[in-house]
Structure 1
Amino acid sequence: MTLMSRLDRFNRRHPWSHNDHYGPWVASQVAASGARTVLDVGCGTGNLVALLSRRPSTVTGLEPHPATARAAAERFADKSAITVVNTDFAGRPQGRWDAVTLVAVLHHLPLAPTLRELRGCLTPGGRLVVVGCYRESGPADLLAALPAMAANPIMGLVKHPARADAPPLHMTAPTTEAQETLADIRAAAARELPGTRIRRRLFWRYTLVYDAPPAAAGL
């Protein structure tokens, strides 16, 4: 058995969510913007929604997977400020939001058109916060992956010390491989969302923050 297969087997026995790892950071970015209405695209079972709802705001979660959306809706059934809709981004309710969040969702959608639509979802001065996946390409990506490969099993032991027979529900949603490289994402964001801040992150992720222009004075 190779080292990589041993690592993969170990990681499966101690599963933890790379996406949930960034949940507190996403929530802090939204809180710092002062958002009162938030749209979470691809909310899963609602782990990020729970963090976003700690502030006095209304949160709408979109989840296309029926069983996952049902679990999220049941989780927040007694929370009047939280709405979960069983739909994808294309089926979102009409309107604009003070903040829009996507965690490991953007690579499921056509990049440039989706960035354009996301810009249109924001109120003046609204904030877009993305934690995304990218396709590895080149030496820089390989170097960035090395510390993640080393830290991943340690995090698994810390967050999920008991051996698991199956991944938890919030880690069972359908997945797909990212097609765009980080360079592709930077280029598309520069065109569609001028002023976007993008950073490479640990555990095969990047973050993107975009602030829409404020309303013009006197309008």
Structure 2
Amino acid sequence: MALLSHLDRFNKRHPWSHNDHYGGWVVGQVVASGAGHVLDVGCGTGNLAALLRRRVATVTGLEPDPATARAAAERFADDPAVTIVQTDFAGRDPQRRWDAVTLVAVLHHLPLVPTLRELRGCLAPGGRLVVVGCYREAGPADLLAALPAMVANPVMGLVKHPARADVPPLHMTAPTAEAQETLADIRAAAARELPGARVRRRLFWRYTLVYDAPAGA
């Protein structure tokens, strides 16, 4: 316990975003699908939107937290290709379909099964859903998977944020929530709602999900 407490204090002094770590991977998945118009659900301060903007035609970001949404909107105020809307997933344009939809550390804030179903309906024919998510650890396999992350996390912190921090950076201050579903729960829900979805366990307490809508849908 003392070791874990020490690691926690060290990690807080050298913060870095596990979510941003997967930004390049998300963009790669989106670009590989040929997407031009992308919906980023829970866009935060816009780090992923900024990466996507370099490779796609338009990005629409949804962010429910007022302060975070305001920071993202100010960031892209001079870029007509990026639209930030202060709303949650339920407040999206219900008539619109996107070439790709992305969620990074967002799905566990929402009811899993109905949200997966609605996400499927947000995709244009042949569109791609890309998720980087959090899951609740349960069982020996999850504990074993966490060990490499526990070792690598402080090293990454020193590399990415060598100076000691008194407060976390702005992009790491959005409201958070504990994941309720296990990875097995997520795999089962995806198998029912998103046939053919690829779900993989990832480093740093994350999983990824990629789903391609049928081209003729």
Q: TM (normalized to structure 1)?
A: 0.97
In the alignment, what sits opposite 2:183?
182
Q: 1:90-101 maps to which residues of 2 (within 5 A)? A: 90-94=90-94, 95-101=96-102
Shift of 1:81: 0.6
State the 1:70 CA deviation. 0.5
- The superposition leaves residues 83-102 of structure 1 with CA deviations (integer Å, 9 ceiling, x where unpaired) of 00000000012301000000
Give the Cα separation in 1 of the matches to 2:145 and 2:78. 42
Are 2:14 and 1:38 aligned?
Answer: no
Matched, 1:116 2:117: yes
Which structure 2 residues correspond to residues 2-151 of structure 1 after superposition, within 5 A? 2-94=2-94, 95-151=96-152
CA deviations on 1:117-166 (whole Å, 9 max, x unpaired) are: 00000000000000000000000000000000000000000000000000
Answer yes or no: is the 8 Å Cα contact 2:35–2:56 preserved in 1. no
The runs of at least 4 aligned residues of structure 1 exceeding 4 Å deviation read none
* CA offsets 1:56-109 (integer angstroms, 9 cap, x no match): 411000000001000000000111110000000000123010000000000000
Could you tell me which runs of 5 or more consecutive residues in structure 2 were left unpaired when the two chains were aligned: none
2:40 and 2:56 mapped to 1: Cα distance?
A: 16
Query: Residue deviations 1:26-72, cap 9 Å, x none?
Result: 00100000001100000000000001110241100000000100000
Ranges in structure 1 where 5+ consecutive residues have no aligned partner: none
| Structure 1 CA distance for aligned equivalents of residues 86 and 56 of structure 2 | 24
> Quick one: distance in 2 between partners of 1:49 and 1:97?
15
Q: CA RMSD in A?
A: 0.8
How many residue pairs align between the two structures? 216
Amino acid at match of 2:91: G
Cα 1:80–1:167 shift into 2, 3 Å? same
Structure 2 Cα separation of the partners of residues 85 and 130 of structure 1 = 20
- Please tell me whether the aligned partners of residues 26 and 130 of structure 2 are also in contact (alpha carbons under 8 angstroms): yes
Range with greater deviation from structure 2 (48-57 or 146-155):
48-57
For 2:56 and 2:97, locate their aligned partners in 1 and report how far apart those are by CA, in whole Å: 18
Aligned to 2:210, what secondary structure does the other structure show?
A: strand
Percentage of matched positions with identical amino acids: 84
Question: TM-score, normalization: structure 2?
Answer: 0.98
Q: C-alpha distance in 2, partners of 1:170/1:89? A: 19
**Secondary structure at 1:215's aligned position in 2?**
coil
For residues 56 and 203 of structure 1, the distance between their equivalents in structure 2, rounded to whole angstroms, comes to 28
Residues of 1 paired with 2:80 and 2:104: CA distance? 23
**2:168 counterpart SS class:** coil
